Chains A and B, each alone.
Chain A
Amino acid sequence: MPTDDRVLLSVRDLHTTFKTDDGDVKAVDGVSFDVHRGEVFAIVGESGSGKSVTSMSILGLLPPDTADIQAEGILWKGENLLEGSAGRLREVRGKEIAMIFQDPLSALNPVHTVGKQIGEMMRIHEGASRKQAKARAIELLKLVGIPQADRRVDMHPHEFSGGMRQRVMIAMAIACNPDLLIADEPTTALDVTVQAQVLEVLLSIKDEIDSAIMLITHDLGVVAGLADRVMVMYAGRAVELGTADEVFYETRHPYTLGLLASLPRLDDSGREKLIPIKGSPPSLLRRPSGCSFHPRCPFARVPGICNETEPPLHLVGGMAHVSACHFAEDMKNVGVAELREEETLA
């Protein structure tokens, strides 16, 4: 396997399957990607596309009795985490890879003070004393912009507002200067005004501790301003992967295009109609034949190759811009405007 010094995390052919009474649900079905040092790598997709499951699989946070994780490798700095001991995995968790969860109210323990929960990181990984841990917790709270940190360190999560709680989560995640921060929908549960603040904190922290961020979101607006590279997921598979500019301006997959067309823009003066993607994501128990997206795709040729053959990810331009569409080449000539036309004709 190639080991590139720039590559921090390399996920190779990840399959995560949930066993249910109705059958096996392939939540992640053969996903591969690399996260480089210091970059912001975004995974984008609708609910149920497998983006959160991908991140949880990396750290082994899924319940082992229902989730089955298979992969050629989950390489963390060249070391396969799937083969690592439980002790090694615990060392990586929190210290080298830290997570920020979606809903900070439920993700923080209601019965412990925020200081204790942040300080716990140093207690686990650095053997800090109670006093040291608390002092560091106050520092971290200041760093993420919480006023009166020395007083608020002794408060409980319910005494904070949503945005402040997410700052606490961030403070907790960065406590041990991790190399990678996995932020799973970090702003979804927050007010729009607060979202921007929290993202700003996240980015400034990233520079401060020099870590990479894996940003998981369904919000392309969030991705646009932040991400270096983007992976778009649909029904457990990667459908497009490239730099943010490539994915946004040289879109080569109809699903990505659909996401972009359904995004409201402030600069279109309200004349442009938003185009929703028709239908809803497929059940992962009964995946459509061929390309999983073909029942919802305005460009699909059905019957034909789209419902017969599963399209592989292939290079469509740039250094590493890949798309899983049979007609990715034709997508060159299609933008959001053309999609609108197509929709009005239909």
Chain B
Amino acid sequence: MPSYVIRRILLLIPTVFFAISFLFFLFFTLPGDPANLIAGGFNRTPDPGVVQRAKERYDLDKPLPVQFVHYWERTLKWDLGESYKNRRSVNDILGEHAVNSLRLGIWAILIEVVVGIGVGLIAALRRYSLSDKITTVVTAGMSALPVFVLGFVLQYAFAVYPHKHAWPEWLTLRTQGLGPDSWAFFFIPTGEQWRYLILPAVTLASVSTALAARMMRGSMLEVLRADYMRTARAKGLDERSIIVKHGLRNALIPVVTLIGIDFGTVIGVAVLTETVFSWPGLGSEIASSVTSRDLPVLLGLTLTVVLAYAIINLLVDLSYAFFDPRIRLGEGGEK
């Protein structure tokens, strides 16, 4: 088991290296010269002297392999460089946005876990009932609905409409921005903060919650037919204990996989949600760094996301052993 963890951690190195190197070279295949943009010209020709100074400042006059080596030298010292756009340190930008992403991500996962597993479980236990049918239809719709469409609909329904019709203040939510940025215990919103948090969190959680609910339903239905559930009944357990003690943990095994993957996804790739709600997280910052050709910001933030994703995946894999004792970590082959 410890050797398994060490092996998995060592595997992070090539994973991160290849991911970032790929992005590095991909960036330079994009049309347009970054130095021109830095020097100020989107549609006008910038001053050649300014372009030259920009190239020198950012290594852009060196051949690509040299730039590549320099990039990694700095990165290993966790110096992510400075933004082409406003010369801010990428480390600062990262610190600011990662926290916002993390908070939004935590809430999206909480919604996914509580609502997704809960709804899926109830649907499975009341199979073919009206609530089960509604669940099937709604979750299918949710997983097919583009995030930005849902985002706009929610903004209208819970913020714009109540505001226009002068609903009481406590019923009105906010559509844009981070809000007062006031939190307790890192992630509990305080004061007005919850009005800003709810809509983006729900939007970000929508697709994964729907998928988790569907998977939980299917998994629980399968478990309900399992022989060991019949054994539990034959032992004289009551229905509730049969479900809770014997069914739930077995049914959760595949759902945990899904939620684990989503952990990486909601933190790193909440681009659309963060854009719709102007939530200043990693996703929206990565998106804007691509449009403005801001290489250091793009690489720095992506590196963080890749690292977070890989580490979370490792933790998820380790947690399988808890949920499913048949999994022996570190031993090759099926047991």
What residues of chain A have their CB less than 8 Å away from a CB belonging to chain B?
59, 61, 90-95, 98-99, 101, 103, 106-112, 120-121, 124-125, 156, 158, 172
- Using a CB-CB cutoff of 8 Å, which residues 217-243 of chain B contact chain A? 226-228, 230-238
Q: How far is the CA of A158 from the CA of B234 in the complex (A)?
A: 21
User: Which of B231, B236, B245 sits near A107, CB closer than 8 Å?
Assistant: B231
User: Which of B228, B236, B323 sits near A109, CB closer than 8 Å?
Assistant: B228
The answer on a CB contact under 8 Å between B235 and A172 is yes
The answer on a CB contact under 8 Å between B236 and A92 is yes
17 interchain pairs, CB-CB under 8 A: A59-B234, A61-B233, A90-B236, A93-B233, A93-B235, A95-B236, A106-B228, A107-B230, A108-B228, A108-B231, A109-B228, A109-B231, A109-B250, A111-B249, A111-B324, A120-B245, A156-B326
**B246 interface residue (CB < 8 Å to A):** yes
Q: How far is the CA of A90 from the CA of B230 in the complex (A)?
A: 13
Complex contacts, B250 vs chain A, CB 8 Å: 109-111
A-B CB contacts (within 8 Å), total count:
66
Known: A110-B228, A110-B250, A111-B249. A98 touches B234 (CB 8 A): yes
The answer on a CB contact under 8 Å between A94 and B228 is no
Q: How far is the CA of A115 from the CA of B226 in the complex (A)?
A: 20
Besides A93-B233, A106-B228, 7 other A-B contacts (C-beta < 8 A)? A59-B234, A94-B236, A101-B227, A106-B227, A108-B228, A124-B237, A158-B325
**Minimal Cβ-Cβ distance residue in B for A182:** B234
Interface of B, secondary structure class, is: helix
Interface of A, secondary structure class, is: helix
Complex contacts, A156 vs chain B, CB 8 Å: 325-326
B250 to chain A, nearest CB (A): 6
Q: How far is the CA of A39 from the CA of B235 in the complex (A)?
A: 22
Q: How far is the CA of A99 from the CA of B233 in the complex (A)?
A: 10
The answer on a CB contact under 8 Å between B227 and A103 is yes
**B165 interface residue (CB < 8 Å to A):** no
What class of interface size applies to chain B in its complex with A?
A: 20 to 34
- Using a CB-CB cutoff of 8 Å, which residues 293-335 of chain B contact chain A? 323-326, 335
The answer on a CB contact under 8 Å between B227 and A110 is no
User: Which of A61, A90, A109, A120 sits near B238, CB closer than 8 Å?
Assistant: A90
B318 to chain A, nearest CB (A): 16
Complex contacts, B228 vs chain A, CB 8 Å: 106-110
The answer on a CB contact under 8 Å between B234 and A94 is yes
Complex contacts, A91 vs chain B, CB 8 Å: 236
Complex contacts, A92 vs chain B, CB 8 Å: 236
Complex contacts, B227 vs chain A, CB 8 Å: 101, 103, 106-107
**Minimal Cβ-Cβ distance residue in A for B239:** A86
The answer on a CB contact under 8 Å between B232 and A109 is yes
Q: How far is the CA of A103 from the CA of B234 in the complex (A)?
A: 15
Complex contacts, B231 vs chain A, CB 8 Å: 99, 101, 107-109
The answer on a CB contact under 8 Å between B236 and A61 is no
Known: A101-B227, A108-B228. A125 touches B323 (CB 8 A): no
Q: How far is the CA of A335 from the CA of B48 in the complex (A)?
A: 111
Q: How far is the CA of A91 from the CA of B235 in the complex (A)?
A: 9
Complex contacts, B323 vs chain A, CB 8 Å: 111
